[in-house]
Amino acid sequence: MQRRTYTIHRVIQMIPTLVILAILIFLMIRAIPGDPAVTLLGVQATPENVAVMRHHLSLDQPLPVQFGIFVNQIVHGDLGRSTLVQIPVSTLVAQRLPLTLSLVVYAMVLALLITVPCAVIAAFNKGRLVDQLIRGYTILGISTPGFWVGILLLIVLGVKVHVFPVGGIGTSPLQDLRYLFLPALTLALGVSAILIRNLRDAILSTLGAEHVTVARAKGLHSQTVLLRHVLRNALISTVTLLGLYLGWLVGGSVIIEDVFALPGMGSLMISSILGRDYAVVQGFTLVYAVLVLTIYLLTDLAYSFVDPRIAL
Amino acid sequence: MSSLATTTTAARPVLDRSRWERTKRLARRNPALVVGLGLVSLVILVGIFGPVLAPESPTTQNYAAAVQAPSVAHPLGTDKFGRDQLSRVLYGARIDLAVGIVTTVVPLAVGVIIGCVTGFYGGWVDTLLMRVIEIQVAFPFYVLLIAIITILGPGLLNLYVALMLVGWVGFARLIRGEVLVAKNLEYTVAARTLGCSNRRIILRHLLPNVIGPALIFSMSVVVFHILAGASLGFLGLGVQPPNPEWGAMIADSREYMTTAWWLPTFPGLAIAVVGVAFSVFGDGLSDVLRTGAR
């Protein structure tokens, strides 16, 4: 019951944020210098087309009325229409969101696969060469731009060694795993650098905890102590960080999709900015923000299950 | 009077020696700080004297020497316009470093002021800050930057504005949290009991005690903003051609990346070196300030 109350409370907390978010995104196109109708249609638009667009966008109405209409359209799934490809933005979202989500989830799985063994090895070899090497990797991972790492991976593993495709997507989910490997790895390398540091420190502080000493004193096998007593507790803070970085990965995917020419939301958003297709930029910004808010909500709810004290 | 002057003059070498000893001890205990400081100083010197060190102009085109591999004449090769890559990398240091440092220092100052005021006074200003933080967290970092650039238009000046608009919130949140804890500690209560004004408490008692984490965080922000500036340059939304910005240089090299490895490699290495320098310095600074706090 308390968890249910917490969930409802947490969802209600999102409402003011969503309202301010809608206002900001509503103002986005209007903040661009010049007439929004001309901005959307381009400078070569005829006065008649501009007048039609002004009426279509309700720009002849007072600002609060315009905002009401904007919210009503969003609620009904109408995110506007792309001026370049002449299809609804919601259709573009439906076409491209699955790939972006797949990339983010794939990257997170790879990041975990890199993080856990590296952090365990580093923590159990504190101060030794292997620990220093892993520390070096984390510093390099934090300090190196993802798009450059992606290009290097493309040159080495795609062009020179021909192990992975250099761009695009496959025709089946299994092929997609291969096609998305390099972009997902690029994203994962950056995030794992941060997660390894966090998990290594958490393992080191858990190793000194009393319950671990007791587990060792009981004569438990070192593997059992590691898996059931150390890692399980140390992972809690990393899982929280993981939720936060899932949101970061969504943003990072915008650039990586562009590097690997993936037909996701990010690559279209970039080409839309350069092509001044502002309806797409506005719609996609909204979708990204709602996506991240949903991820944070789900992380908080999942965390309340892992640690019931949160919901109290 | 004269005896006092003699004592002061005699005490100075002892004081200097003990300070020097302390510095040496600090350096021995924190190699990361020394290495980081050395690297940061080096990259800043390159940023300042890059144009002097550069053998050629970064924008002079020479189609006869286009896409040439590294050689004695062009140690880092040439690009598709025959421009010397070494000169462009050296000139680029100034642009990328300035983006990273300026867009960190200004938000640091603004964030510290706002964080101190909201954390100390609370009330509606604090509620407003919390709302701004919530909204900013809802936007993925790059999506927010791209949205601001969409409104302002691509370019170096707008890149500065976008990064500063986004950057101050993290500092304000950090300082606010520190102030919330510190304002209830004994030294603050004692200062208040002694009749210190709020302004004096904030400036003389709270600020020196809460600034440490913000300084450590600022090193990460410098790295993050250099990477962000380069990423936007790479996407064509940051520094515009023909300016030699590292991210834009990597973007320019995309069509040649299978045949001319040096084009994406060296600007990327330059970003990595600067990033590592500030990261290592930040690690060292963190060790020193934490030890100091203990």
Subunit contact B135:A17, Cβ cutoff 8 A? yes
Subunit contact A269:B146, Cβ cutoff 8 A? yes
Q: What pLDDT does residue A60 have?
A: 81
Task: Check whether the bond before A183 is cis (ω within 30° of 0).
Answer: no
Q: What pLDDT does residue A310 have?
A: 57
Q: What pLDDT does residue B294 have?
A: 42
Say what percent of chain B tops pLDDT 70.
Answer: 93
Q: What are phi and psi of A145, to 5 degrees?
A: -70, 135
What average pLDDT does this structure show over A62-89? 87
Contact with chain B for residue A194, Cβ under 8 A: no
Residues 203-262 of B with CB under 8 A from A: 220, 223, 227, 230-231, 234-237, 247, 250, 254, 257-258, 261
Confidence tier at B40 by pLDDT (50, 70, 90)? very high
Higher pLDDT, A14 or B43: B43
Q: Given a cut of 90, is residue B131 above it in pLDDT?
A: no
Region of residue A162 (phi > 0: left; psi between -120 and 50: alpha; otherwise: beta): left
Nearest chain B CA: its distance from A51 CA (Å) = 22
pLDDT tens profile B209-241: 889 889 989 999 999 999 999 999 998 888 888
Please state the length of chain B. 294
Contact with chain A for residue B279, Cβ under 8 A: yes
Say what percent of chain A tops pLDDT 90.
Answer: 29
Q: What pLDDT does residue B249 have?
A: 94
Q: What pLDDT does residue B13 have?
A: 58
Q: Given a cut of 60, is residue A311 above it in pLDDT?
A: no
Q: Which residues of A touch B274 (CB under 8 A)?
A: 143
Q: What pLDDT does residue B172 have?
A: 92
Higher pLDDT, A100 or B22: A100
Higher pLDDT, B7 or A126: A126
Q: Given a cut of 80, is residue A84 above it in pLDDT?
A: no
Ranked by mean pLDDT, the top range of A51-55, A296-300, B179-183 is B179-183
Q: What angle do CA A100, A102, A107 make, to 5 degrees?
A: 95
Q: What pLDDT does residue B4 have?
A: 47
What average pLDDT does this structure show over B35-47? 94
DSSP conformation class of A154: I
Subunit contact B264:A148, Cβ cutoff 8 A? yes
Confidence tier at B48 by pLDDT (50, 70, 90)? very high
Q: How far apart are CA B267 and CA B247, in angstroms?
A: 7
Contact with chain B for residue A274, Cβ under 8 A: yes
Q: How far apart are CA A291 and CA B104, in angstroms?
A: 28
Q: Which residues of A touch B150 (CB under 8 A)?
A: 28, 32, 273, 278, 281
For B99, the token pair is 């983006």
Q: What pLDDT does residue B290 have?
A: 66
- pTM score of the predicted model: 0.86
Q: Which residues of B touch A296 (CB under 8 A)?
A: 137-138
pLDDT tens profile A123-146: 889 889 999 999 999 999 999 999
Among A234-243, B126-135, B180-189, the range scoring the smallest mean pLDDT is A234-243
Question: Do B72 and B55 contact (CB within 8 A), yes or no?
Answer: no
Q: How far apart are CA A306 and CA A234, in angstroms?
A: 13
pLDDT tens profile A92-128: 999 999 999 999 999 999 999 999 999 999 988 988 9
Q: Given a cut of 70, is residue B16 above it in pLDDT?
A: no
Mutation choice for A interface testing from B144, B151, B217 by most A CBs within 10 A: B151
Region of residue B123 (phi > 0: left; psi between -120 and 50: alpha; otherwise: beta): left
Q: Given a cut of 60, is residue B47 above it in pLDDT?
A: yes
Q: What pLDDT does residue B2 have?
A: 46
pLDDT tens profile A247-292: 888 888 999 999 998 999 998 988 888 777 888 888 999 999 888 8
